[in-house]
Homo-oligomer: A and B are copies of this chain.
Amino acid sequence: MFVKNCWYVAGWDYDLPQGKVLARTIIDRQLALYRKQDGGVVAIEDRCCHRHAALHLGQIEGDCIRCMYHGLKFDPSGRCVDIPGQDRISPKAVIRSYPVVERDNWIWVWMGDPALADPNLIPFSVGPGDPDWDMRPSSLVFDADYRLVVDNLLDFSHITYVHRKTFGGEQFSDGLPKITKLDRGFRVERWLRNAPALVFIEHIMTGRYDMLVDYSVLMPCVFVMRFKIFAAGTATEGPSNGQLLLDTWTCQSVVPATADQCVYYFSWGASKETATPEIGDLLYAGINKAFLEDKEMIEAQHRNIKLQPDLPMIGIAHDAAVNQMRILMNRFIEAESAGIAAE
């Protein structure tokens, strides 16, 4: 159920200060992460090759980490470089090390074949460190199959219902959005016309607006959306020249820990031109509240599916992108298990 040959977010960069060893579970694998002296991140198996002690309980020594059970020391490549009580070190004394890239304040880890770890496959995103945007990062744990969260993101008709008290957006469940196939995912576009602003900012944006929703969902689980609010009637389709009142990015990553748990990293923020501190606070509070609504709904859905996994699901028109993404992901997973790269 997991794609291996892809970059997964292991956390925000601020989750991993120098000197800390961080434990993470990604696609059923236990990782320990720490920073080298130059700040570069090492991601290794959280399991000493000797007796399987947890390396997140270890001690950083220079660029290496020492298992604090019996003292084996590993370099960033995972090679054991010291075994107390003996001089010779078996070449088998190696743990797995994973390719890591830090970009846009996310720590990206490649869980598959290291030879295929192409940084160009890291999706575009806008991080909290970007000087042009007031991005605020957050995270939540969902006790659910990550694919249910991916489904959720690919069908915004749920906004009308799940988020009726936070976002509102009755138009989301009306017509269908425009869906475009991408190399490793889908782009979804939709205009909301002459609509009230999202519920959580209605008290400061009291009129009616044109709103652009334009997002991509990329394998396996990255969501990046441009959301813009224009004065009603001023914005045209395509590269907009309307009266732009609020311009935002939200960047989200849903990272499968196990079959039954995933971690959701997300940020939302406005451009410095259109942001105010109040808007920043509202976006941050709004997305956190809304994602707790998703969490409640999706965790209950996950429990239902676990209880009777073989019951059929009845398809509806809004499932289009959801279904296409599942097909795409399954094609990648099957290609990986067959040992060939998916097209």
Contact = CB atoms under 8 A, between A and B. Distances in A.
A90 to B, nearest CB: 6
A157 B50 CA distance: 13
Contacts of A314: 49-50, 80, 90, 92-93
B313 A151 contact: no
A175 interface: yes
B84 A174 contact: yes
Contacts of A174: 84-85
A161 B308 CA distance: 41
A16 interface: no
B160 A84 contact: yes
A85 B316 contact: yes
A282 to B, nearest CB: 23
Size class of the A contact interface (CB-based, 8 Å): 35 or more
A301 B57 CA distance: 10
A158 interface: yes
A340 interface: no
B54 A304 contact: yes
B70 A155 contact: yes
A280 interface: no
Contacts of A241: none
A203 interface: no
A124 interface: no
Contacts of A155: 70
A85 B176 contact: yes
Interface of A: 28, 30, 46-47, 49-54, 56-57, 66-72, 80, 83-86, 90, 92-93, 151, 155, 157-158, 160-162, 164, 173-176, 296-297, 300-301, 303-305, 307-308, 311-318
